[in-house]
Chains A and B, each alone.
Chain A
Amino acid sequence: MTGIRIFPLFGQFWGVGQRSASAPWAAAAPRLQTPPRRQRAPKPRAAAPQPPPRWSQGRKRGADGKRRKTESDSSVFDENKYRPSDNRLDSFTTPEGPGPLSRCSDWGTAVEEDEMRTSVNKEMARYPWVFKMNSDSKESTVTVELETDEVVLMRRQKQINYGKNTIAYDRYIKEVPRSHRIPGVHPRTPNKFKKYSRRSWDQQIKLWKVALHSWDPPTEEGCDLQEISPVDLGEMETESVGSNSTESQTSCQDNDDTCSGTPTKVRHVDYQAEGEFDLEVCLGEPLKDFDTVS
């Protein structure tokens, strides 16, 4: 409805200027009871930044260890919903929005994505001299070499979360403190900020998760390793011909957890202790395809 601009003749209607006790308006007008209290949300207790959320969806087992029904197996970011033949991108960015938005319509998922995005941004904000997003790249040669695409980072983070949300990972980090890790022997979380091709990254993740299985708890069903399916390179997204081998394409296939025997994690892990982003390593190591899990 278009507003009709009426300029009230002050004094005529409201008795302004007659704000004495005898003003008829003042006597007749209702008064408000009490000023509404402004409720403030409580400040979060923890001083440390929140870790990325766990993804209970997509886990074969629930928090109690029981296997989940198949309907709930669909992953939180089930990009399988978006068929490869569907030409729509599975995320989009609006100018006024905070960043890429997934084409999901439920609030639960939207908030979880939001949370992950802000967590990743917080990680990056810890190293502003590295991740100078808006300034000239001539100043910082490092920026060019790192992965900063939010869509990519979020997908990778999600894959990492899947791996970390396991009892095996929990047991691993308890058993082997970071300082005691031997490269080549102990699995290391792939660094999402490094530039890798899609194929290379997916491969690293798979190898990492396979390696973590060494710390699976013993189960009554026997050896966990027997249920691990071999790495199926055919499932991984193929890069388009002629394109640069970087993760510029969005994918419709997500990295499913092919190792059905992975027990889900029940306990919370402090991501801060883990520290995914190893700046020295990131800047020091030459960029090459990762062929062993170190």
Chain B
Amino acid sequence: MGETGKEEYKIQSFDSETQKLLKTALKDPSNVDLEKVANIIVDQSLKDCVFSKEAGRICYTIIQAESKQVGQSIFRRSLLNRLQQEYKDREELRTRSLQAWICYVTFICNIFDYLRVNNMPMMALVNPVYDCLFRLAQPDSLRKEEEVDCLVLQLHRIGEQLEKMNSQRMDELFSLLRDGFLVQEGLSSLSQLLLLEIIEFRAADWKMTDAAQKYYYSEVMD
């Protein structure tokens, strides 16, 4: 794997030994400790938001490689169980480090987006992902711009899919978001804007309308 590979999987942030390990995992998974690889990936994704945004990709590739080479799913299983561990302790994670919490949510949503089972999203992740988003929609989180930003980003990426899996919870989530937008004190104007945009986005069936594009994303000529 040359530079494009590194770029694609965003593994530049790892030290060279780890990069080597990951590259081997991608090409020859039966010859590495896949549980270790899974842990390395999760650890890094909690530290590096750039990595966590696209880590689903490298995970997908390793899973496919393992399945093809040995017909097993050790990596996937280790990855998911580690993800579950972090999920169970997410409140502590958030208290300990807001950044790590945001990275975690980004990561789990990315995994949900990329990893499929027979072309269907993973059922087991639907409620946990919702739980994370609901947490981000709580008053204390809405007051933090980074959390609002994370929330709307994830909804942009996976909202439509998530809604298909469970529309009731999406309705409830957006109830919270509307309430937050209207009533919540301490929201920055950027946060308000973000919330308004996502509310409109969903109302337009998860599509960007020209009007919304113009309003939210165009330069204002003075």
A interface residues with partner B (beta carbon < 8 Å): 1, 3-4, 6, 8, 19, 21, 26-36, 38-42, 44-45, 49-51, 53-54, 56, 63-64, 98, 106-112, 114-115, 118-119, 122, 165, 265-269
Cβ-neighbour of A41 out of B69, B113, B175, B221 (below 8 A): B113
Q: Which of B15-23, B43-51, B118-126 contacts A (4 or more CB under 8 A)?
A: B118-126
B117 CB within 8 Å of chain A = yes
- Which residues on the A side are within 8 Å of B216 (C-beta)? 31-32, 35
Closest Cβ neighbor of B168 among chain A residues: A96
Q: Considering the complex, which residues of chain B in the window 32-68 have a beta carbon less than 8 Å from any beta carbon of chain A?
A: 54, 56-57, 60, 64, 67-68
Please report the number of residue pairs spanning A and B whose Cβ atoms sit closer than 8 angstroms.
140
- Which residues on the B side are within 8 Å of A122 (C-beta)? 118
CA distance A142 to B180 in the complex (A): 56
Closest Cβ neighbor of B212 among chain A residues: A35
Sampled A-B contacts (17; CB under 8 Å): A8-B182, A27-B220, A30-B190, A33-B217, A38-B156, A42-B114, A44-B64, A45-B64, A53-B71, A107-B128, A114-B123, A118-B117, A119-B118, A122-B118, A265-B71, A266-B70, A268-B71
B95 CB within 8 Å of chain A = no
Contact call A41/B114, Cβ cutoff below 8 A? yes
How many residues of chain B are within 8 Å of chain A by beta carbon? 60
Cβ-neighbour of A106 out of B74, B84, B220 (below 8 A): B84
CA distance A106 to B197 in the complex (A): 36
Smallest CB separation, A34 vs chain B (Å) = 7
- Which residues on the B side are within 8 Å of A64 (C-beta)? 30
Cβ-neighbour of A268 out of B69, B74, B114, B215 (below 8 A): B69
- Which residues on the B side are within 8 Å of A34 (C-beta)? 217
Contact call A21/B221, Cβ cutoff below 8 A? yes
Contact call A111/B72, Cβ cutoff below 8 A? no
Minimum-distance CB pairs A-B, first 6: A108-B77, A110-B124, A107-B80, A118-B118, A268-B71, A36-B156
B143 CB within 8 Å of chain A = no
Which of B76, B77, B208, B217 is the most central at the interface, judged by chain A CB atoms within 10 Å of its CB?
B77
